[in-house]
Amino acid sequence: MFKKILIANRGEIACRVIKSAKRLGIKTVAVYSEADRDARHVEMADEAVLIGPPPSRDSYLSMDAIIAACKRTGAEAVHPGYGFLSENAVFAKRIEEEGIVFIGPKHLSIAAMGDKIASKKLANEARVNTIPGWNEAIESPEQAVTIARDIGYPVMIKASAGGGGKGLRVAFDDQQTHEGFASCRNEARTSFGDDRVFIEKFVEQPRHIEIQVLGDAHGNVVYLHERECSIQRRHQKIIEEAPSPFISEATRKAMGEQAVALAKAVSYQSAGTVEFVVGADQRFYFLEMNTRLQVEHPVTECITGVDLVELMIRVAAGEKLPFTQSEIKCEGWAIECRINAEDPFRNFLPSTGRLVRYQPPAEGDGVRVDTGVYEGGAIPMFYDSMIAKLIVHGKDRNEAIAKMREALNAFVIRGISSNIPFQSALLAHPRFQSGDFDTGFITQQWPSGFRAEDVPHEDSDFLVALAAAANRRYLERAAGISGQLPGHGVQIGNEFVVVVKGQEGRHLHRSVTLDTNNAFAVTIGVRRYELEKDWEFGGIRATGTCNAQPFTAQIERHGVWLRVQHHGLAIDAMVLSARGAELMALMPYKPPPDTSRFLLSPMPGLLVDVIVHVGQTVLAGERMAVIEAMKMENVLTASRDGKVAEILANKGESLAVDQPIVRFE
């Protein structure tokens, strides 16, 4: 076994690898960029080496810097995590040539599976189901149209070196094929330096299901069941679960056996994933093989009881797999939610900055949190948007969903926006709960984007009751202050109006009654809420029971308003006397300032370029500036015609949300 390994990665996955290594008694070396100097993985490792400036290409993608760090620290092996250099055959080969062990498959296996065209040919040879299509690089749009007609519409146009949704188009007719081919080719050339494009049949109502495989250096390969990864947005996974609620036992077995056959065909050693697209008729077709650890590997670990990172290390050290196929169990149901730094109510734009509050739910009892951040730390703009992975394990799917909803309620994140409200809405959707979804689910349900009013809640008055009960706590504290004049102390009544903030001053007024014999019994209309809760002044998370049913919510005070959150829904409420509510209704509405004469930054990020100049006349839709955040470039365009009066931000400047960039005359 190795004495010391280096983790060529950052964030959540670096912390995850360090945990397994420490359990094996192996010393760990972290590498970090200047932006990650205070990162959690740097703190957790036994040693840490600075490898370059913040941009990935100068640090985490620098093979020379990582190899130098190995030599400097005496690391015997390198775990690449996922992303960055994890599927780079050149890197794996260089590591091996330096006499360092690559904790992953051999470079020949990575190369064989890294090319989509070559991997499809290999899959055919291994008798793995492949989607009907043209497996050679296509030279022209005209040839693409001819091939598409032969296969039959709809078709999928894909870049051979593509990934992450780039270089991919779906075409339903000749015109879309002609245009899609050109777009894919250009995108592939720009993003991957490889403009080869191929075409295959597009499976309608597809589900994305993947098989986890594990091989050793002694010729043993097993599959560890499947993961359902169909809940995706723009080809990025949002929720993953194991097992799948869709496929039959016969389909599961057939997919697993084909995945093993493919892994054996390339002498696969390590953890890997074979991805399939599965149609409504349960026919399945090979998509690609990911020759690395997947982001969603924890759900497989939950149902099998296997530590995949530990086994990757053991296999790399030459050990045999400790079990056979028949010994692999599948117990219960696991779900993973990716908690990302993005604003779901602003079209999921990245949200970077300081984590002012960060309190993940307590681990244990089937709840697990894999994270690389901490309270007070920063989410830098240079890398991906993941804050944490929240994983739950229940005895069945319904229990897992219920556990996940409560765990999301308990996840406190302040200072930046997160996608937790969207995750809550997904989990509450009837189609998700029934397992009736495919990869187009999110687009079908929210075609115009996700809005605050799209967050479902089975009983929004519950949040009103919580606001009334929290206000009662404040009043009780005020009533107990010493030194009050006799006859003029704070008197607590039992009739109140909860004013729920709305748009343009049109607030919702809800009359509530608090039982004088029970401080936390709240009546709203005909509903009565018997609350027993544990909530500290200055704290955010509130737990307790409502009508004997357990709940977790978040309550915090902002001036005279209370913000209450539960199941993704958030309200701002003010608790007043009946007379106070009458007077508030007479208050004039103060509209927000007019920002139509400004181009505002929709997210925190780096201002890469300002394309316009003072005095220039621009038309609606014309490019004005480029902002970079979390590995994505976002082009800002003019929302109306106008003339540039002033440039308010400079190229290279770090911008805050809603910071003005350009002022129009």
> Is 429 part of a structural domain of the chain?
yes
Report the candidate in 12, 5, 50, 15 with the shortest Cα–Cα distance to residue 31.
50
**Residue 187 annotated as catalytic:** no
Q: What is the Cα–Cα distance from 171 to 646, expressed in whole angstroms? A: 43
pLDDT at 161: 75
Q: What is the CATH number of the domain that holds 49?
A: 3.40.50.20
**Does one domain contain both 572 and 465?**
yes
> Is 69 part of a structural domain of the chain?
yes
- Across 114-128, 291-305, 337-351, 491-505, the highest mean pLDDT is recorded for 291-305
State which amino acid sits at residue 604. Answer: P
Residue 409 has pLDDT above 90, yes or no: yes
**Does one domain contain both 351 and 444?**
yes
**Does one domain contain both 534 and 634?**
no
> Is 344 part of a structural domain of the chain?
yes
Q: What is the Cα–Cα distance from 639 to 623, expressed in whole angstroms? A: 10
% of the chain residues with pLDDT over 70: 98
**Does one domain contain both 474 and 552?**
yes
Residue 518 has pLDDT above 70, yes or no: no
pLDDT at 431: 96
Residue 297 has pLDDT above 80, yes or no: yes
Residue 535's pLDDT band (boundaries 50, 70, 90)? confident
Q: What is the CATH number of the domain that holds 193?
A: 3.30.1490.20
Residue 275's pLDDT band (boundaries 50, 70, 90)? very high
Residue 166 has pLDDT above 80, yes or no: no
% of the chain residues with pLDDT over 90: 73
**Does one domain contain both 407 and 500?**
no
17: number of Cβ within 10 Å? 30
| pLDDT tens, position by position, 229-272 | 999 998 899 999 999 999 999 999 999 999 999 999 999 999 99
> Is 211 part of a structural domain of the chain?
no
> Is 88 part of a structural domain of the chain?
yes
Residue 553, helix vs strand vs coil:
strand
Q: What is the Cα–Cα distance from 467 to 477, expressed in whole angstroms? A: 16
**Contacts with 61 (C-beta within 8 Å, 6 or more apart), sequence order:** 84, 85
Instruction: Give yes or no for a contact between 168 and 177, defined as CB atoms under 8 angstroms apart.
Output: no
**Does one domain contain both 561 and 605?**
no
**Does one domain contain both 350 and 441?**
yes
**Does one domain contain both 557 and 626?**
no
Average pLDDT over every residue of 50-54: 95
**Does one domain contain both 449 and 565?**
no
pLDDT at 491: 78
> Is 151 part of a structural domain of the chain?
yes
State which amino acid sits at residue 513. Answer: T
**Does one domain contain both 14 and 59?**
yes
Q: What is the Cα–Cα distance from 29 to 6, expressed in whole angstroms? A: 4
> Is 469 part of a structural domain of the chain?
yes
- Of 12, 288, 296, 556, the catalytic one is 288
Q: What is the CATH number of the domain that holds 640?
A: 2.40.50.100
Q: What is the Cα–Cα distance from 102 to 555, expressed in whole angstroms? A: 48
* Helices and strands per DSSP (H, E), number in the chain: 17, 39
Residue 476's pLDDT band (boundaries 50, 70, 90)? confident
Q: How many domains does the chain have?
A: 5
**Does one domain contain both 495 and 575?**
yes
Residue numbers of the domain that contains 377? 340-384+400-456
Higher pLDDT among residues 549 and 490, named by residue: 549
Residue 519's pLDDT band (boundaries 50, 70, 90)? low
pLDDT at 164: 57
Task: Name the token pair of 523.
Answer: 């009546």
Phi, psi of 214 (to 5 degrees): -145, 125
> Is 144 part of a structural domain of the chain?
yes
Q: What is the mean pLDDT of the chain?
A: 92
**Does one domain contain both 76 and 166?**
no
Average pLDDT over every residue of 293-313: 98
